[in-house]
Amino acid sequence: MITPLPTPGFAFEILATLGHARAGVLHTPRGPIPTPVFMPVGTQGTVKAMTVAELAAPPLDARIILGNTYHLYLRPGLDVIAAHGGLHRFAGWDRPILTDSGGFQVFSLSALRDIDDDGVTFKSHIDGSRHRLSPEVSMHIQGVLGSDIAMVFDQCPPGDATPEVHELALRRTTAWAERCLRAPRPAGQALFGIVQGGVDLERRRRHAAEITPMGFDGHALGGLSVGEKIESMYQVFDDFAHTLPFEKPRYVMGVGTPPDLERGILAGVDMFDCVMPTRNARNGYLFTSQGKVVISNARHRLDTGPLDPDCPCQTCATVSRSYLRHLCMAQEILYNRLATLHNLTFYARHVQRLRERILAEGQPMAS
């Protein structure tokens, strides 16, 4: 089943379902994105330690990456990116890009900002300069970046927020979503809405009833993995994710571990992003088919075997655990590249295996 999305050139095709899980393809003007999909995070216009050739090459074969509105606005600045004609040419990446709206930074940099109904005033974490971010400004920045998928500007409450803060965030996120829809954006740029509500299912359903009729190209669950208990996040996955419109892609923002991804996919989520595979790689934590490896542990000092014998990435094919440990302990730059390539490949293959299971065991959708 293929459904055209509101933005011309975009369509969402569901190939098979297995319970609430779906395997499909998000069709975009810059190429198809098989779903479910994990999207590597490129905060500063780069997925840390990776070249675009490494990202695009099998077995990683990343079909879409993320860029960060807040960080790219501050550095290098919109004039630099505009001079290149957008983020794709600036970064040398010709596949799709999704940009967040800056809303999460409103949450994460709480000591540097003030929120009101119109938007957010914040101090740069780089030089302390003052800036104003609103729905219209966020859409303008994402327009200059030229992302294929833009996100609405939202307010993301922390996991321990009071009911009053959640209600205010819902009201503002709905109002800001309407303003984002009215703001100009480049032809061919899709726009996703964001549903907030924390771990309160009634609040989530109420907010979804406001957001989903607006005509977005897809819908995201925001405000998760922000300090709530993992069991509560999983309840939102299980009881709520599948209630979002069936014919449009569903995206959980900023999540998570491999088990988080599996739980979300089985609950009906199609798209994920998280800094965990890249950040953990740089910090010496590597994901393998045999469990998590802390590469600095002395047990790996004389281990001449591969990091993961079941992994086809170049790291596992060419170097030993012993060599990786040496690079890590010596703080060699090459360690970051090899470790990041492996972790991202692990995530990509983890999601791919789940997709293949849905296609093999699920119910095919009629054309």
The percent of residues above 90 in pLDDT, for the chain, comes to: 92
* DSSP notation for 39-98: E-B-TTSS-TT--HHHHHSTTT----EEE-HHHHHHTT-HHHHHHTTSHHHHHT--S-EE
* 69-73, 109-113, 160-164: segment of lowest average pLDDT: 109-113
Residue 356 domain-assigned? no
| Mean pLDDT calculated for residue range 262-274 | 98
Query: What is the pLDDT, as a whole number, of residue 106?
Result: 64
Model confidence pLDDT, tens digit, residues 353-365: 999 999 999 999 9
Instruction: Tell me, yes or no, if 100 is annotated catalytic.
Output: yes
Selecting among 154, 270, 273, 308, the annotated active-site residue is 273
Residue 104 pLDDT level (bands cut at 50, 70, 90): confident
Please classify residue 6 by burial: count the beta carbons closer than 10 Å to its beta carbon, then call 0-12 exposed, 13-18 middle and 19+ buried: middle
Residue 209 domain-assigned? yes
Would the pLDDT of 258 be above 90? yes
Residue 358's φ and ψ, nearest 5 degrees, are -60, -45
Model confidence pLDDT, tens digit, residues 304-319: 999 999 999 999 999 9
Residue 314 domain-assigned? no
Nearest CA to 236 among 215, 213, 255, 216? Answer: 255
Selecting among 100, 148, 217, 308, the annotated active-site residue is 100
User: Which residue type occupies 100?
Assistant: D
Taking the whole predicted model, whether its pTM rises above 0.95 is answered as yes
Residue 108 pLDDT level (bands cut at 50, 70, 90): confident
Residues 6 or more apart in contact with residue 209 via CB below 8 angstroms: none
The tokens describing 220, both together, are 């995201």
Residue 194 domain-assigned? yes
d(CA 277, CA 41): 9
Nearest CA to 280 among 330, 336, 324? Answer: 336
Would the pLDDT of 213 be above 70? yes
Please classify residue 79 by burial: count the beta carbons closer than 10 Å to its beta carbon, then call 0-12 exposed, 13-18 middle and 19+ buried: exposed
Residue 109 domain-assigned? yes
Model confidence pLDDT, tens digit, residues 3-32: 999 999 999 999 999 999 999 999 999 999
Task: Find the CATH number of the domain harbouring 120.
Answer: 3.20.20.105
Would the pLDDT of 103 be above 90? no
Residue 329 domain-assigned? no
Q: Chain-wide mean pLDDT for the chain?
A: 96
Domain that holds residue 239: 2-282
Residue 355 domain-assigned? no
Residue 110 pLDDT level (bands cut at 50, 70, 90): low
Q: How many domains does the chain have?
A: 1
| Mean pLDDT calculated for residue range 163-172 | 96
Residue 116 domain-assigned? yes
Model confidence pLDDT, tens digit, residues 70-93: 999 999 999 999 999 999 999 999
